[in-house]
Amino acid sequence: MVEIVTLTPNPAIDLSTSVARMVPSRKLRCAAQQRDPGGGGINVARVVKRFGGDVEAIYPAGGFTGRLLRALLDREQIPSRVVEAVAETREDFSVTESETGQQFRFVLPGEALAEGEWRGLLEILGGTDPAPTIVVGSGSLPPGVPHDFYAQAAAVAKRIGAQFFLDTSGDQLIAALAHGVTLIKPNLREMQELAGRPLANDQDYVAAARQQIDAGKVEIVALSLGHLGALLVTKDKALRSPALPVAQVSTVGAGDSFLGAIAFSLAKGRPIEDAFRLALASGSASLTMHGTELCRPADVERLSAEVVIQPL
């Protein structure tokens, strides 16, 4: 039985490199490039696989980059169910300035999916038998895909008997919450948009999360606070953890590592405190890696011992 299915409507090839210094109008000599499969749900699947979870990825793929995406996922032994798309799969790239450690991220737009293609993703999800424990929807939506796509995906997950975890933003997050989901992973800006007001402290964060929970829109809110750490809220628990002091190399994929770890843990039936601890260690471990290399289990195990969780 597949424990976790990830849904990525806008996958990408993530290319990363470094240069001594970013200077305009000059030819910049870069280090060797690194290519990784990318997109929110794709990265979640990669993390779950590294922890030994049973996972499957659903996504569209088209053109040369689509074939490369499939090959990269095959290399990592990620089982896939793919909608063949006419449009070329997009690419993203990041450049690290080695003299300063600053990272510059460039996100290219995805080409439009036809109606039959995005509906095909939902049909594939609905055909998952037996049903997974968790469906994870993650990432942006490409042109041509309606803003309520994730709401429709949440409805499919509910129909087949799976929990639905979501990491997205804007109108698509609001539409999915109106339907109801199991877990969301907003950052502070996204949480403030949902609350409709500024949030200044832990009490504000918990109140804003409980506002969504009490309205029946979500059961678990995992709030990412960047350098301030993270907070996890359910109907009867609020857990707070400061950020771990790691040497940051790349921010790409840190949130996906966090989400992949918490999905893996909860799919295994582990206590939510343990899931939160693994998620915090995984997100922190990912920060120390180049490109979209994501977290390594050995680093996660080491950092897990350093995670401090405080009930609020």
The closest alpha carbon to 56, from 3, 12, 9, belongs to: 3
Q: Where are the domains of the chain?
A: 4-23+30-311
Burial-class residue 183 by CB neighbours within 10 Å (0-12, 13-18, 19+): buried
pLDDT, tens digit (0-9, with 9 covering 90-100), for 215-260: 999 999 999 998 899 999 999 999 999 999 888 888 888 999 999 9
- Decide: 19 and 31 in contact? Cβ < 8 Å: yes
Catalytically annotated residues: 256
Contacts of 174 (CB under 8 A, 6+ apart): 194
Burial-class residue 63 by CB neighbours within 10 Å (0-12, 13-18, 19+): middle
HSE-CB of 289 using CA atoms within 13 angstroms: 21
Backbone angles phi and psi of 243, in degrees to 5: -70, 145
The two structure tokens encoding residue 127:
């055909």
* Bridge-based pairing state of the strands 90-97 and 220-224: unpaired
- Decide: 228 and 242 in contact? Cβ < 8 Å: yes
How far is Cα 59 from Cα 295, in angstroms, rounded to an integer? 22
pLDDT tens digits, the chain, 312 residues: what are they?
799 999 999 999 999 999 999 999 889 899 999 999 999 999 999 999 999 999 999 999 999 999 999 999 999 999 999 999 999 999 998 998 999 988 899 988 889 999 999 999 999 999 999 999 999 999 999 999 999 999 999 999 999 999 999 999 999 999 999 999 999 999 999 999 999 999 999 999 999 999 999 999 999 999 999 889 999 999 999 999 999 988 888 888 899 999 999 999 999 999 999 999 999 999 999 998 877 788 899 999 999 999 999 999
Distances (CA, A) of 229 to 201, 210, 232, 273, 291: 12, 19, 11, 15, 21
- Decide: 94 and 16 in contact? Cβ < 8 Å: yes
Name the CATH superfamily housing domain 4-23+30-311: Ribokinase (3.40.1190.20)
Inter-helix orientation angle 202-214/188-195, to 10°: 60
Task: Quote the pLDDT of residue 247.
Answer: 84
Q: Residue 106, Cα to own-chain centre: how many angstroms?
A: 17
Strand partners, 223: 231
How far is Cα 230 from Cα 221, in angstroms, rounded to an integer? 10
